[in-house]
Structure 1
Amino acid sequence: MRKNKETIPSAESALAILQQLIRIRTNHTEGYEMDAVKYISSILPHKTELSIIDHGNNRGSMIVEVKGRIPDKKIAIFSYLDTVKNIGINRWEHPPFSADYVNGVVHGKGAANMKGGVTSAILAMMTLSKTSPPPLSVLACFTADGTGDGLGAIEITEKGYLKGVVEAIFTNATKEKIGISQKGALWTKVEVTGTTSYSASPSSGTNAVEALILFCQHLRKAVVGQKNRKHLLLGLPSCTITQFNSGEGEVNQIPPYAVATIDIRFMPYQDPESIISLHNEIAGELSKTYGGINVKIEVLKIQNSVYIPENSTMVKRFSNTLLSMNKKSVLTGLNIFGDAAHVIPRTGVPFLIYGPGEYSSAINEKVSLKSVISVANVLVKYIQSYDTNF
């Protein structure tokens, strides 16, 4: 392997960092991000300033700062440390925590989501700390719970660590495209209670399963809407049943109970509170159609949708940086959620999402080492050429 650029750590170093991060298990359901925090703090140059946040139960976040020529004006880079829960471990082509390196690609749990992006941020901070001070200060925020409720991002934002930040970059996997929009997420649980009877006399009971299926159909139609609402980068909103259960009734019984969880990914133009109201409206209509049923709705999660105009100053400047490096400048949108959903609504700063790899399946994750190093180079170039007059 050869150095990508003189200022960026070698490909060997980048590979070693990424492999070690994958081998540190930071499964979202268990946390353990503090193990990754300790590792990252051990490899960063002494010129960086570290602030470690202990969330308890071995969960942690960290802010790394490189002082710039204008120290009170800052740009923040966000990368979360946790990975999604273990799914289909026995179906992986490469063991999920082996971090195998084959033909330029690193395989393993969190390789794309998003330890590749974490590695890019680490490489960028290593480089910026060893060169002359950048035009403005740089914060790398390595966060806990990015795939969950944003514990790290929220605490970093609400406790004042982002004072002076004028822009934010999130290194989620975008396949090196510029992410300018991200769907929001609303998770709900819907329980329907009816009355049982023998299925030989269905009119004697109130079928909770049929009522819940009808509820979900009406909700999907209301949320997804007409095709002329299709977003250029995000496509259409989605409304997906992820769990469905009707208890342990017999084949010859009308089910008196049914419950479903629903994952809604909504657009920047949609309001989650309005979607919650749709739930209640549909529940009311069903109660009239099906006499004797009761519908209970519980909101499990709300993640904000975020968006920045493609003609914004930050997006234009970032695009020009890519073009100056003979790289393509392509815009994209993300269906997933992450730290941007917590940081941007609380700060209102300009932002974009740019990272190595792409989201695919929860199994067989992989990321190109070349892409990890390329993203680090882009971050360094963008920051070093930053015009503080903007």
Structure 2
Amino acid sequence: MMMQTYPSEEQCKTLLQTLVRTNTCQPEGNEEALVDWIVAQLPQDVTQFKIQNASNRASLIVKLEGDEDDGGVAFVGHLDTVACSEADGWTDPPHGAVVKDHTLYGRGACDMKGGDAAMLLTLKYLLENKVTLKRPVYFCFTSDEEASGLGIQSVLSSGYLNAVDAMIVCEPSREQISNSEKGALWIHVAIDGVSAHASRPTLGINAVEYASLLSQRIKNMVTAKSVHPILGPATAAVTKIFGGSMTNIIPAHAEFEMDIRTNPDTSSKDLEGEIDEIIDQLLKEAGQVSTRSGQLKISKTVINNRPAIETSKDHPLIQTLKAIGAKVGINTGERGHFFYTDASQFIPQMHIPFAIAGPGDDALAHCVNESIDLRSVQRFTKLYINYIMQTNKKD
């Protein structure tokens, strides 16, 4: 049988326009609309599992069977996008999916409906060519990745992917193959001091000043950690801060939030322990200031915890993807991701190798006038097809 050709740029455009024109913005999501549309395109004999995550929110697993039921690879992409508004300054409507000179513009074009399109085009190619497989291939479309990760959590708990031995996350990777991603620890800190007249600051305990001191000590601790050869240094940034009521009152309460990005050599548990030690030391120092009345109080809450994860750059999964990538025009230099993906909630439990490889430039994700080069969607579709044909096609 003569194999069907790779998808054309026009096919990439038509499919991606359908995906982008379906509004799946957070916080509502509405991913079920796309899940139902995908299911409607599938032949009736294709195995698929729809997982309801909430009202109008769903995830989908499509399974192409192999001769063996164990093993196989899972391609993973999320269907939700971050929020958007025309008032943000979009040149064209954010769900218009306007195309100009090979580039499609719209919310989610890059992050990550371009990757979803490449997954669906790969699925279509395998079905139309009746490719027989040694082991299963899974195409997983998740909800809520841009928030709490309800979709990938439900996929994990469903058990449908318990037998897979590799994962390819189809997030935008700037025309490269990534083998690692930073973790994230987000903390909220509340500080209670004692108010006083600002002309007599020694009579109070300045919660804002302690917030500033504490956040800087945490940042110093984080940034002093070892530098990862691909991901670079760990980082810490204060992203929210509140405190004070009037200029002439020593503030008795302050709050701040920090976004800490970790590398694979630092566990969240150890990092939390170090933060607690810094807080304890600061409380001890405050207790030694006898001229102040009252007592300093500090509470810390973790609001997000995603571990950093990594696959060895020498692992066959990474090396095979790079070898195929070089043939289809994808950069084979070393790459890691500074943001977390659905893999952060899956890989630590399953302990399988993963790669992040998807069309688009992640620097354009979440931006006004978000866009993707349609030729990138083509290239990564070729990468996925060739990876499956080389590693999993039955002779």
TM-score (norm 2): 0.92
1:372 and 2:372 matched: no
1:388 offset after TM fit, Å?
8.1
1:7-18 equivalent positions in 2, closer than 5 A: 7-18=5-16
CA RMSD of aligned residues (A): 1.9
* SS in structure 1 at match of 2:159: coil
1:167 aligns with 2:163: no
Bigger drift between 157-166 and 254-263 goes to 157-166
Candidates 92, 95, 104, aligned match of 1:94: 92
Paired letter, 2:209: E
User: 1:169 is matched by which residue type in structure 2?
Assistant: I
Within a 5 Å distance, the mapping from 1:320-335 to structure 2 comes to 320-325=323-328, 327-335=330-338
Matched to 2:264, the amino acid is: P
The alpha carbon displacement at 1:26 in A equals: 1.5
1:135/1:385 contact within 8 Å kept: no
Report how far residue 298 of structure 1 moved.
Answer: 0.5
User: In the TM superposition, what is the alpha-carbon distance from 1:148 to its structure 2 partner?
Assistant: 2.2
CA distance in 2, matches of 1:94, 1:270: 43
Q: Over residues 102-130 of structure 1, what are the superposed CA-to-partner deviations in whole Å (9 max), with x where a residue is unaligned?
A: 11111111111111111111111111111
Does 2:267 align with 1:268? no
- Give the Å deviation of 1:55: 1.2
How far has the Cα of 1:164 moved from its partner? 2.5
Give 2:290's aligned residue: none
Measured in 2, the distance between the counterparts of 1:179 and 1:54 equals: 30
Q: Which of 39, 46, 49 is matched with 1:48 structurally?
A: 46
Q: 1:280 to 1:319 in 2, by over 3 A?
A: same
Structure 1 residue aligned with 2:311: 308
Q: Which residue of 1 aligns with 2:359?
A: 356
1:190-209 alignment to 2 at 5 Å?
190-209=189-208
Alignment of 1:275-314 (within 5 A): 275-291=271-287, 292-314=295-317
| SS class of match (2:75) | strand
Question: 2:138 matched to 1:139?
Answer: yes
Aligned equivalent of 2:236: 239
What runs of 5+ residues in structure 2 fail to find an aligned partner? Answer: 288-294
The aligned residue for residue 177 of structure 2 is: 178
Deviates more, 1:336-345 or 1:89-98: 89-98
Conservation of the 8 A alpha-carbon contact between 1:170 and 1:355: yes
User: 3-state DSSP class of the match of 1:332?
Assistant: coil
Measure the CA separation in 2 of the matches of 1:89 and 1:65. Answer: 41
- Match of 1:188, SS state, is strand
CA contact (8 A) 1:89 1:96 kept: no
Question: What CA distance in whole angstroms lies between the structure 2 residues aligned with 1:103 and 1:46?
Answer: 37
- Does residue 124 of the first structure (1) align with residue 122 of the second (2)? yes
Q: Which position in structure 2 is the counterpart of 1:341?
A: 344
Contact 2:191 2:298 in 1 (8 A): yes
**Distance in structure 1 (CA, Å) of the matches to 2:332 and 2:45:** 33
Question: 2:291 aligns to what?
Answer: none
Shift of 1:78: 0.3
What is the number of residues matched between the two proteins?
382
Secondary structure of the corresponding residue to residue 65 of structure 1 = strand
| Contact 2:192–2:298 (8 Å) recurs in 1 | yes
| TM-score normalised by structure 1 residue count | 0.93
Give how far 1:84 is off.
2.0
Q: Which runs of 5+ in 1 are unaligned?
A: none
Deviation of 1:30 (Å): 1.6
1:230 to 213, 224, 227: 227
What displacement does 1:176 show? 2.1
| Cα displacement (A) at 1:305 | 1.1
Task: Pick which of 206-215 and 104-113 moved more.
Answer: 104-113
Whole-angstrom CA distance in 2 between matches of 1:241 and 1:66: 46
Deviations 1:42-101 (A, max 9, x none): 233445322111112211000012223444432100001111233785222332211111
Q: Match for residue 253 of structure 1?
A: 249
2:292 equivalent in structure 1: none
Identity within the alignment, %: 29
Q: The residue matched to 2:122 in structure 1 has which SS?
A: helix
